[in-house]
């Protein structure tokens, strides 16, 4: 929560400072444009996995070995830098981040199992450090076809450096309801890492409406939840004419997660007197 003078609290300041030291993120510069803007600032490349730019040596030296020492299993599931950044972000805003660790490669593979080059443009909500984004690229989705919506400024800056060809918007996903990301609904799929169990019930309908306003007919939203219960109430799905199907479950994530596919209810394309 911001202070009356408009500054972020001290805990948020120190967490952001530590995150920038780990990733060598340069201080953010405010551009004279609107808030909901694509992040296309230039900076030092960070990602040693995607090769998006040279990685300073201090990135390797700053790796949090203490995390691998206390939780050795996490090192097999995710990069140490990403685990540290999620932990620090969670300490600042636990209800916005929703998890103390980023999603594992197993969950990322399950989330993107139905997506490929033929899907076309893909919309991703709450990409964080980009585990699902990397999985989409490995499935053959072009980086130019990715549109990432991230509300955390530090994660948005990190994503811009890791995926420079993608469109990255630093904004709340609720704003999708009043923002046209494409000239027409062309996205073939949407991937969501948002913790809907922790999001206000008043915001959830607006987010879903904004997502499906950008999806073409036949497009679907893939959402995971930490547990087995669908994060969307049936009453909400009925009101928005949506249906949900369970894709799968993985124990190779901390905590274990379940993936659901949300799509529009198919309607009859021709008149049939039996349903009149």
Residues 31-41 pLDDT 10s:
444 445 555 44
Of 218, 235, 236, 229, the closest CA to residue 260 belongs to 229
| Regions of the chain where pLDDT drops below 50 | 1-4, 18, 22-35, 40-78, 80, 98, 276
- Report the candidate in 29, 39, 18, 66 with the shortest Cα–Cα distance to residue 170: 39
pTM of the model: 0.67
Closest alpha carbon to 188 in 131, 112, 103, 248: 112
The single-letter DSSP state of residue 3 is: -
pLDDT at 9: 55
- Ordered domains of the chain (ranges, CATH): 10-275 (3.40.50.150)
| pLDDT of amino acid 5 | 54
Residue of 196, 194, 193 whose CA lies nearest to 133 = 193
Dihedral angle of Cα 55, 172, 85, 166, to the nearest 10 degrees? -20
Which of 98-102's residues contact partners 24+ apart within 8 Å by CB, and which partners? 98/194, 98/195, 98/197, 98/198, 98/226, 99/195, 99/226, 101/74, 101/77, 101/254, 102/78, 102/128, 102/129, 102/131
Longest dimension (CA), the chain: 71
At 212-241, the pLDDT tens digits run 999 999 999 999 998 788 999 999 999 999
């Amino acid at each position: 929560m911001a202070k009356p003078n408009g500054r972020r609290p001290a805990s948020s300041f120190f967490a952001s400072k530590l995150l920038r030291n780990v990733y060598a993120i340069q201080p953010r510069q405010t551009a004279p444009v609107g808030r909901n803007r694509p992040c296309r600032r230039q900076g030092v490349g960070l990602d040693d996995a995607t090769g998006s730019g040279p990685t300073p040596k201090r990135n390797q030296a700053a790796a949090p070995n203490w995390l691998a020492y206390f939780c050795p299993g996490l090192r097999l599931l995710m990069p140490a830098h990403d685990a540290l950044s999620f932990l620090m972000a969670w300490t600042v805003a636990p209800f916005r981040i929703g998890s103390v660790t980023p999603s594992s490669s197993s969950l990322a593979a399950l989330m993107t199992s139905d997506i490929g080059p033929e899907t076309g443009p893909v919309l991703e909500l709450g990409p964080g450090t980009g585990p699902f984004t990397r999985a989409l690229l490995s499935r053959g989705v072009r980086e130019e076809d990715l549109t990432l919506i991230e509300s955390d400024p530090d994660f948005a800056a990190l994503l811009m450096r890791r995926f420079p060809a993608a469109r990255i918007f630093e904004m709340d996903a609720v704003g999708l309801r009043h923002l046209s990301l494409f000239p027409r609904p062309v996205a073939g799929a949407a991937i969501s890492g948002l913790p809907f169990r922790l999001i206000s019930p008043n915001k959830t309908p607006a987010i879903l409406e904004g997502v499906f306003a950008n999806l073409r007919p036949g497009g679907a939203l893939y959402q995971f939840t930490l547990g087995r219960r669908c994060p969307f109430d049936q009453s909400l799905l009925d009101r928005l004419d949506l249906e949900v199907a369970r894709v799968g479950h993985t124990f190779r994530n901390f905590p274990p997660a379940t993936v659901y596919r949300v799509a529009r209810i198919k309607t009859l394309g021709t008149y049939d007197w039996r349903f009149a």
